Structure 1
Amino acid sequence: MKQFTWYWLPVLLVAGGIFYSSATPYKQQDMRPTLSRFLNHEKLAGFFSSVSFQYAGSEVSVDALGAAGFVEFFIRKAAHFSVYFLLAFLLFRALRFYFSKGKTVLFSFVFTVAYAASDEIHQHFTSGRSPHVEDVMIDACGGAAGILIALLLYRRYFRRNT
C-alpha cells in the first residue's frame, strides 16, 4: 500500500488533473480578460510585432490574437509541456521498480504520448476546445524531457533498479 500511495497516487493525481482540465470548457479557462488587465498592450505589440507563425492551421501573432491571446497561447503551450513533463517523470519513478531501465523509459514515454493523444480526443467533445496533433507533439517533448531528467536524477542519486 505504501508503494501505491508514494509512487502511483501522484501519477493518478496528475492524470486526473489533465482529464479534469480537458473536460473544462474553454470559456471557463479563458485567461485573456485577466491578462488584459495586467499587460501593456502597446509595449507588447511593439516588442513582438515581427513574431508570426502558423500553429494548427492558425496564425499566432499579436495582430491575429491580440496581446492577451498571444501571451495566453504561450502560457497554454508551456502548461502542456510542463504537465506532461511531470506525468512522464512520475511514471518513470513508479515503473522503475517493475522493469529494466530501457523498458521503463519506453513504457513511460509510450504511456505519456498515448495519454496525450487520448486527452486531445477528449477535448474534441468539450465545448470550445479542439484537438491538435501539434499539442500531442509538445506533450511528447515534455514527456521526453521529464524522462531524461528522471534518468539523470535516478542514475546520480538512486543507483538501485535504474
Structure 2
Amino acid sequence: MKRFLFYWLPVLLVAGGIFYSSATPYEKQDMRPTLSHYLDHKMIANFFSSAVFQYSGEEVSVQALGPAGFVEFLIRKLAHFSVYLLLAFLLFRVLRFYFNRGKTFILSWVLTVAYAASDEIHQHFTAGRSPHVEDVMIDATGGLVGIMIAVLIYWRHFRRKAY
C-alpha cells in the first residue's frame, strides 16, 4: 500500500489532471481576458514582433493572435511540455521497480506518448477544443526530457550508494 501511495498515486493524479483539463471546454480555460488586463501590450508586441511561425496549419504571431493570444499560446504549449515531463518522470520512477533500466526508459516514453495521443483524441469530443498532432509532439518531447532527468537522478543516486 505504501508503494501505491508514494509511487502510483502521483502518476494517477497527474494523469487525472490532464484528463480533467482536456474535458474542460476552452471557454472555461480562456486566459486572454486576464492576460489582456495585466500584460503590457506594447512591450509584448515589440519583443515578439519578429516571432512568426506556423502551428497546425495556422499562423502564430502577435499580429495574428494579439498580444494576449500569443502569450496564452506560449503558456499552453509550455504547460503541455511541463505536464508530460512530470508524467514521464513519475512513470519512470514507478516502473523502475518492475523492469530493467532500458525497458523502463522505453515503456515510460511509450506510455507517455500513448497517453498524449489519447488525450488529443479526448479533446476532439470536448466543446471548443481540437486535437493537434503537434501537441502530441510537444508532449512526447517533454516526456523524453522528463525520463532523461529521471535517469540522471537515479543514476547519480545509485552510483553514490555503491561507494
Q: Please give the TM-score of this superposition, normalised by the length of structure 1.
A: 0.97
SS in 2 for 1:50: coil
Give the number of aligned pairs: 160
Percent identity between matched residues is 76
Structure 1: give runs of 5+ residues left out of the alignment: none
**Structure 2 counterpart of 1:116, one-letter code:** A
For residue 47 of structure 1, report the CA deviation from its aligned partner: 1.9
Distance in 2, matches of 1:5 and 1:157, equals: 22
Regions of 4+ moved over 2 Å = none
Q: Specify the alignment match of 1:124 in structure 2.
A: 124
SS in 2 for 1:97: coil
Structure 2: give runs of 5+ residues left out of the alignment: none
Q: Please give the TM-score of this superposition, normalised by the length of structure 2.
A: 0.96
Distance in 2, matches of 1:111 and 1:140, equals: 10
Distance in 2, matches of 1:158 and 1:9, equals: 24
Indicate the larger mover: 92-101 or 40-49: 40-49
Distance in 2, matches of 1:93 and 1:39, equals: 38
Q: Specify the alignment match of 1:96 in structure 2.
A: 96
SS in 1 for 2:137: helix
Distance in 1, matches of 2:43 and 2:82, equals: 28
SS in 2 for 1:158: helix
Distance in 2, matches of 1:150 and 1:107, equals: 14
**Structure 2 counterpart of 1:129, one-letter code:** R
**Structure 1 counterpart of 2:45, one-letter code:** A
- For residues 17-32 of structure 1, the aligned pairs below 5 Å read 17-32=17-32
**Structure 1 counterpart of 2:70, one-letter code:** F
- For residues 60-75 of structure 1, the aligned pairs below 5 Å read 60-75=60-75
**Structure 2 counterpart of 1:138, one-letter code:** I
Indicate the larger mover: 88-97 or 44-53: 44-53
